[in-house]
Structure 1
Amino acid sequence: MMIIVTMLVLGLILGFVGAGGSGVIIAILTTVFGFSIHTALGTSLLAMVFTTISGTFSHIREGNVVPKAGAAIGAFGAVGAFAGAHIANRIPAHDLTWLTSCMLFVSALLLWGRMFLYKKQTSETDDRLNLHGVRFWVSAICLGLVTGLLSGTFGIGSTPFIQIGLLLLFGMSIRHAAGTTMLVILPIALLGGIGYLWNGYVNLTLLAEVVIGTMIGSYIGAKFTKRLPPLLLKIAMVTVPTIGGLLLLV
């Protein structure tokens, strides 16, 4: 019950920022509940499939998703995630914990720089959104493969990397970047999770507990993305991976 309640609270935050939240889930499962890093990686990544189904549906209803971009990037991301899961299987537990923590800090740093230093994206409209031509497909392939590989290897959803890519490469508003990220994460989490399941790193009981809490919380949290101030959304995007990274270093 403690795991379910904890995941419910976490799901509220993740739904709000448009994140699968695997990195934070991994940190909590390993440092608070004592599961091994590989089990936490596999279970949390597969749990994101269910979390993002709920969050994506809610974001679509709220008008926060750009379907074509999300589907294209997610498809290529799934390929990278499946390969990354097999790479993680060859990395020792201690090294994988440290590397995952570093990736979460890098995620937070990139988001902080993007959101607070440059401040190029302040509009709620997608003034530069372009979903056609060679540039769109090259950007979708590159963003999908890179973020998928990161997700599969380190068990994280790569939310900050995806959101930055959507903001910079596709010219999305902060609101649409948050919602579309949920759609991108869905196939990435599915193929990455299957990769970990293939290698025996998914705890089905734990998976059910994580899913129950995060699905309910994520659905409710997505309702606040459009209703709360954009500044609060930006701060939350940076804070979530930072907390995850700190927990893994404890």
Structure 2
Amino acid sequence: MIIIFTMFLLGILLGFIGAGGAGFVIALLTVAFGFPIHTALGTSLAAMAFTTLSGAYSHFREKNIVLKMGLIVGLSAFFSSFAGAKLAVYIQEDLLHYYTAAMLILSAICMMIKLFISSDSSHIEMKKSQVWGRGVGLGILTGLLAGMFGVGSAPFIQLGLLIFLHLSLRQSVGTTMLIILPISIGGGLGYVTEGFVDGVLLIKVLIGTMVGAYVGAKFTNLAPKIVLKVAVIATPTVAWVNFVALREMV
């Protein structure tokens, strides 16, 4: 019951900022609840498929999703995330912990630079060929990162949508939630085939995060833009702090 309640609270935040939340889930499962990191990676990615479905539907109803761009990036990421999950099983557990933590803090730094230093480019129009080329490239890269490390993909997807595909902040939040859906399916399938998904744990994570994500997505349009910016940056940062601090305690 503790896992379900914790995941519900986490789901509210994830729905609000348009993230899958694997970083928090992995940190909690590996250190606070004692699950092996490969099992935590596989279970969190599989859970993300359902969590993001709930959040994406809510964002779609709020008109925060650019459907065409989301499908281009998401379908490209599906295949690379499956490949990334297959590669992750060859990485030693201790190294995987450090790589995961590094992905979290790097994504937070990149988001801070873009949102608070760079100018807004959402008004720029692109050619059809540019949309496809940049979309497919973004999907392949972020899918591979998500499959291998389980975390960090959402901020990088949002960065790509903001910088290369010129979406607004709210559009990037909602569209990212859609993109994470095929990423988590592909990565989850990769871990399932390797035997790293815990069925009982998956159900507990799902119950909490799906309900929370649906609720959290309702607040994206209501919050001031500065609050949304801070939340997008703070989430991977706090996940990194928790990941490192809890890791040092064991």
Please classify the TM superposition score into its range, dividing by the shorter chain length. over 0.9
Tell me which of 220, 225, 229 is aligned to 2:224.
Answer: 229
Q: Is the 1:48–1:189 contact (alpha carbons within 8 Å) kept by the matching residues of 2?
A: yes
**Alpha-carbon separation, structure 1, partners of 2:229 and 2:152:** 17
Counting matched residue pairs gives 245
Deviation at 1:173, TM superposition (A): 0.6
* Equivalent residue, structure 2, for 1:156: 151
Tell me which of 186, 189, 192 is aligned to 2:184.
Answer: 189
**Alpha-carbon separation, structure 2, partners of 1:52 and 1:75:** 15
**Alpha-carbon separation, structure 2, partners of 1:239 and 1:193:** 26
TM-score (norm 2): 0.96
Tell me whether 1:214 sits opposite 2:213 in the alignment: no
**Alpha-carbon separation, structure 1, partners of 2:57 and 2:152:** 18
**Alpha-carbon separation, structure 2, partners of 1:210 and 1:56:** 18
Aligned 1:1-250 pairs, distance under 5 A: 1-118=1-118, 120-121=119-120, 126-130=122-126, 132-156=127-151, 158-250=153-245
User: In the superposition, relative to structure 1, how do residues 73 and 176 fare at CA in structure 2: closer, same or farther (>3 Å)?
Assistant: same
**Alpha-carbon separation, structure 2, partners of 1:173 and 1:64:** 9
Give CA deviations for 1:180-222 in whole Å, capped at 9, x if unaligned: 0011110000010000011010001000000000000000000
User: In the superposition, relative to structure 1, how do residues 202 and 184 fare at CA in structure 2: closer, same or farther (>3 Å)?
Assistant: same
**Alpha-carbon separation, structure 2, partners of 1:109 and 1:247:** 16
Paired AA for residue 115 in structure 1: L
SS at 1:10's partner residue? helix
**Alpha-carbon separation, structure 2, partners of 1:2 and 1:147:** 31
Segments of 5+ residues of structure 2 without an aligned counterpart are 246-250
Paired AA for residue 41 in structure 2: L
Paired AA for residue 120 in structure 2: Q
Deviation at 1:128, TM superposition (A): 2.1
Give CA deviations for 1:146-203 in whole Å, capped at 9, x if unaligned: 0000000001260110001101111111000000001111000001000001101000
SS at 2:117's partner residue? helix
**Alpha-carbon separation, structure 2, partners of 1:129 and 1:193:** 35
Deviation at 1:35, TM superposition (A): 0.8
Q: Is the 1:45–1:157 contact (alpha carbons within 8 Å) kept by the matching residues of 2?
A: no
Deviation at 1:129, TM superposition (A): 4.6
**Alpha-carbon separation, structure 2, partners of 1:249 and 1:52:** 26
**Alpha-carbon separation, structure 2, partners of 1:13 and 1:63:** 19
SS at 2:218's partner residue? helix
SS at 1:59's partner residue? helix
**Alpha-carbon separation, structure 2, partners of 1:57 and 1:202:** 25
Deviation at 1:134, TM superposition (A): 1.5
**Alpha-carbon separation, structure 1, partners of 2:101 and 2:65:** 29
**Alpha-carbon separation, structure 1, partners of 2:51 and 2:125:** 27
Deviation at 1:110, TM superposition (A): 0.5
Give CA deviations for 1:103-145 in whole Å, capped at 9, x if unaligned: 0010111011111122x128xxx42254x52111110111000
**Alpha-carbon separation, structure 1, partners of 2:129 and 2:52:** 29
Q: Which deviates more, 236-245 or 8-17? A: 236-245
**Alpha-carbon separation, structure 1, partners of 2:236 and 2:67:** 25
